[in-house]
């Protein structure tokens, strides 16, 4: 049996995550129908079909690098109106380029430094998301985004949203999970448990079908799984060979299904009533993705418990430090007044202004650049750039990324 390469598995899952990001709503399909020659339409169409090729050839480094470059270009085109999950994709793809490009000239790939870079990327995202949620609005059941989203999950599960879990429980679950995941990922001894908890957390988030959170969940789950020790993948291959992406039939199933989803999205954008079918196809494929993720992370926990297996210690590099610096700058943007959207706040109800803050720790925005001074809800800056969420109470009541 052909050996399962951790990087092959990562490339396959990365292609899936990028396609889930593109197809989770019809924004790309609408742009493609309205203006097929716009920069966004061209970039995202090229990105989508590059991902299809990557699914079919996950061992091809050039295919992975092509997807990374095109996704980076796509984000640069969309800026500043870029959702958080695409920013995470953006920074992760920069890490991919830093570590994989040298291999084209014959240099040895440093897998340990690559894994370490992605671990630190994940910790940064979880830390800022947790910190942003430490505010009065998020802990208020009448305002909290966690409550709004948990009701959608309750509707999907066909249970009453009046239970304790769908009240304060959903708020505490979100905050505690993000904090614990970040803490567990740092030490090599507990990282495997952090990966498993993270997979469970993001699978549960994706149950909110209305907000198609599987786009964000697929990105985070893929990054979490690549943090697992390589030895675990060998064991999973022995036990679940039929489920592993290197299986040609499985790769083709994913590729063809994504092509169907893309086609249905275009038809929906053209006005045909096929949205239910498109959602169903996406959700079926997402369930297969979740099963694979749960098997991988669950097996890792068994290995860690029975054999005392642990991950390798983190290793820093200059390239990783530069990426982390930009990510940290993005994360602190609401508190220094640089911007208040797409800052890894993740639907936190955060409201930080020069004269007011609902945060438990940060008393107000420093507004170092004067962008927030004298702004109104209908300001030209807000309409054109959308880097600031609305100020005032509406900022607390609207669940804005």
Q: Is 376 a residue whose pLDDT tops 60?
A: no
Is residue 136 located within the same domain as residue 17? yes
Bigger pLDDT: 293 vs 311: 293
31-40, 179-188, 367-376: which has the minimum mean pLDDT? 367-376
Q: Is residue 156 part of a domain?
A: yes
Report helix angle 111-132 to 214-225, nearest 10.
140
Number of domains in the chain: 2
Q: Which residue, 199, 197, 218, 229, is CA-closest to 6?
A: 229
- State the Cα–Cα distance between residues 328 and 309, nearest whole angstrom: 31
Q: Is residue 1 part of a domain?
A: no
Is residue 305 located within the same domain as residue 394? no
- State the Cα–Cα distance between residues 129 and 346, nearest whole angstrom: 6
Bigger pLDDT: 265 vs 178: 178
- State the Cα–Cα distance between residues 293 and 299, nearest whole angstrom: 10
How far apart, in Å, are the Cα atoms of 150 and each of 18, 145, 207? 25, 8, 9
The pLDDT assigned to 99 comes to 92
CA dihedral 177, 183, 184, 186 (to 10 degrees): 140
The band of 379, judged by pLDDT with boundaries at 50, 70 and 90, is: very low
- State the Cα–Cα distance between residues 275 and 278, nearest whole angstrom: 5
Is residue 233 located within the same domain as residue 316? yes
Q: Is residue 333 part of a domain?
A: no
Is residue 160 located within the same domain as residue 112? yes
| Residue 180 bridge partners (DSSP) | none
The pLDDT assigned to 13 comes to 93
The pLDDT assigned to 232 comes to 75
The pLDDT assigned to 159 comes to 67
The pLDDT assigned to 381 comes to 42
Tens-digit pLDDT profile for residues 256-275: 999 999 999 888 888 887 77
Q: Is 285 a residue whose pLDDT tops 50?
A: yes
Q: What percent of the chain has pLDDT over 70?
A: 86
Tens-digit pLDDT profile for residues 187-240: 998 999 999 999 999 999 988 877 778 889 999 999 999 988 877 777 776 777
Q: Is residue 222 part of a domain?
A: yes
Is residue 307 located within the same domain as residue 276? yes
Supply the DSSP symbol for 1: -
Domain coverage including residue 392: 340-401
Question: pTM (2 decimals)?
Answer: 0.90
Average pLDDT of the chain to the nearest whole number: 84
- State the Cα–Cα distance between residues 210 and 230, nearest whole angstrom: 36
Q: Which residue, 147, 197, 196, is CA-closest to 169?
A: 147
Tens-digit pLDDT profile for residues 73-119: 999 998 877 888 899 999 999 999 999 999 888 888 888 899 999 99
Q: Is residue 335 part of a domain?
A: no
Q: Is residue 312 part of a domain?
A: yes
- The overall longest dimension of the chain from CA atoms, in Å, is 66
- State the Cα–Cα distance between residues 197 and 297, nearest whole angstrom: 9
Bigger pLDDT: 337 vs 71: 71
Q: Is residue 301 part of a domain?
A: yes
Is residue 266 located within the same domain as residue 353? no
The pLDDT assigned to 305 comes to 78
- State the Cα–Cα distance between residues 303 and 300, nearest whole angstrom: 5
Is residue 322 located within the same domain as residue 363? no
């Amino acid at each position: 049996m052909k050996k399962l390469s951790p990087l092959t598995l990562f490339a396959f899952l990365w292609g899936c995550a990028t396609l889930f990001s593109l197809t989770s709503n019809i924004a790309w399909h609408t742009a493609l129908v309205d203006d097929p020659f716009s920069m966004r339409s061209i970039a995202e169409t090229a990105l989508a079909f590059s991902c299809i090729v990557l699914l079919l050839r996950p061992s091809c480094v050039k295919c992975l690098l092509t997807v990374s470059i095109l996704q980076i270009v796509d984000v640069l085109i969309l800026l500043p109106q870029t959702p958080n999950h695409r920013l995470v994709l953006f920074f992760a793809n920069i890490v991919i380029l830093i570590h994989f490009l040298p291999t084209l000239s014959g240099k040895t790939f440093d897998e340990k430094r690559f894994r370490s870079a992605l671990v630190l990327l994940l910790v940064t995202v979880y830390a800022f998301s947790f910190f942003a949620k430490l505010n009065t609005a998020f802990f208020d059941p009448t305002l909290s985004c966690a409550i709004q989203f948990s009701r959608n999950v309750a509707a999907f599960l066909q249970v009453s949203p009046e239970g304790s879990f769908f009240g304060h429980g959903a708020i505490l679950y979100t905050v505690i999970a993000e904090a614990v995941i970040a803490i567990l990922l740092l030490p090599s001894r507990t990282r495997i448990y952090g990966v498993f908890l993270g997979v469970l957390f993001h699978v549960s988030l994706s149950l909110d079908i209305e907000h198609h959170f599987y786009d964000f969940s697929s990105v985070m789950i893929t990054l979490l799984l690549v943090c697992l020790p390589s030895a675990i993948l060998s064991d999973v291959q022995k036990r679940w060979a039929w489920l592993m992406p290197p299986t040609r039939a499985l790769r083709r199933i994913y590729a063809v299904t994504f092509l169907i989803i893309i086609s249905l999205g275009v038809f929906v954008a053209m006005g045909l009533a096929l949205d239910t079918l498109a959602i169903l196809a996406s959700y079926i494929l997402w369930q297969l993705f979740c099963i694979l993720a749960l098997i991988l992370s669950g097996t890792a926990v068994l290995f860690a418990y029975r054999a005392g297996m642990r991950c390798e210690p983190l290793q820093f590099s200059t390239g990783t430090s530069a990426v982390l610096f930009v990510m940290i700058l993005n994360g602190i943007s609401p508190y220094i007044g640089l911007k208040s959207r797409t800052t890894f706040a993740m639907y936190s109800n955060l409201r930080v202004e020069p004269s007011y803050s609902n945060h438990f720790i940060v008393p107000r925005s420093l507004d170092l650049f004067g962008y927030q001074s004298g702004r109104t809800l209908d300001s030209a800056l807000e309409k054109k750039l959308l880097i600031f969420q609305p100020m005032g109470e509406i900022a607390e009541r609207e669940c804005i990324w």
